[in-house]
Amino acid sequence: MKVRKAVFPAAGFGTRFLPATKAIPKEMLPLVDKPLIQYTVEEAKASGIEEIIIVTGMGKSAIEDHFDTSFELELLLKEKGKRQTLGAIEEVSELMHFAYTRQKKPMGLGHAVLCAKNLVGNEPFAVFLGDDIIDARVPAMKQMLRVFKKYSSSILAVQRVPKSQAHLYGIIKAEKVSPRVYRVLDLVEKPKRPPSNLAIIGRYILTPEIFDALEGTGPGRGGEIQLTDAVKGLMKKQTVYAYEFEGERFDAGDKIGFLKANVALALKRPEMRAELKRFLKGLNL
């Protein structure tokens, strides 16, 4: 039961980032020098995923162009002798195999995953939410795949969040079964009274039975088809686990989280670190 495919829901309107996202997809906002979505695609590749299924919508063609070859641009860079930049451009289009499908109506995360049903087929698959950027020594999905190998069940990535923030997430109630691994007992999307502080973060490994569960899930929180509700449905038939990954997570779908991710990731880049540090210190905060 190898996990070969990953679904990337990317049909949202990016309303938290308006007006920046009026004409460009949120997924294409640059984090240091790469679009947001490239970080999660690279994490998928480094974790051994072979095929990416991007669920797009209206106005998202820049994502497809980004992961395609750009003949004219590559020719121009070749002629100008810009070998390093050419290498970076070629690398992007060779990252992995991409397939695209569209979510025709904004009916929520669960519905977006359901749109990928035919492309996924009858095999376990991963889901990546591009807003969650995870900086980790071992890629977060790679850590989860190790857990999947042992349990052969759906795995949700979780992280402890302050209680005051819990209403912003899907929250699980769970019992610990081994270090960092929990058996999920219950889960609820953006609860008013959170049953714990273990929040679902945007990485999932799901068995294909989730599609039946999604088809049987009606609108939930915000009137949308929630993935959290479908996982709850799946739990009637299968055990679901949660894994507390190691690594630092940034909520890049939020303006302040996006800024923090830019600073933290730029500080890790040798060519930017010294200058950026000097600038930040000079702010005399």
Binding of ligand G1P by 207 (CB under 6 A): no
- Asked whether position 28 contacts ligand G1P by CB under 6 A, the answer is no
Contact 143, 257 (CB under 8 A): no
Question: What mask of x and - would describe binding to ligand G1P in positions 109 to 148, judged by CB under 6 A?
Answer: x-------------------x-xx----------------
Residues 146-175, one symbol each (x = binds ligand G1P by CB under 6 A, - = not), give -----------------------xx-----
Closest CA to 174 of 126, 238, 243, 234: 243
Q: One symbol per residue from 180 to 199: x for binding ligand G1P (CB under 6 A), - otherwise; what is it? A: ---------x---------x
Nearest by Cα to 232 from 156, 123, 181: 156
* CB 197, min distance to ligand G1P, A: 12
Q: How many CB atoms lie within 10 A of CB 78?
A: 11
Closest CB to ligand G1P: residue number: 170
Q: Establish how many alpha carbons lie within 13 A of residue 252's alpha carbon, considering only the half-sphere containing its beta carbon.
A: 28
* Shortest spacing between CB 23 and ligand G1P, in angstroms: 22
Residue nearer to ligand G1P on the CB measure, 129 or 174: 129
CA angle (42, 267, 23) in 5-degree steps = 55
Handedness of CA 103, 109, 111, 116 (dihedral sign): positive
Q: Of the candidates 228, 234, 243, 258, which one interacts with ligand G1P according to CB under 6 A?
A: 228
Strand-strand pairing, 5-9 and 30-31: unpaired
DSSP letter for 18, please. T
Q: Which residues bind ligand G1P (CB under 6 A)?
A: 109, 129, 131-132, 169-170, 189, 199-202, 226-228
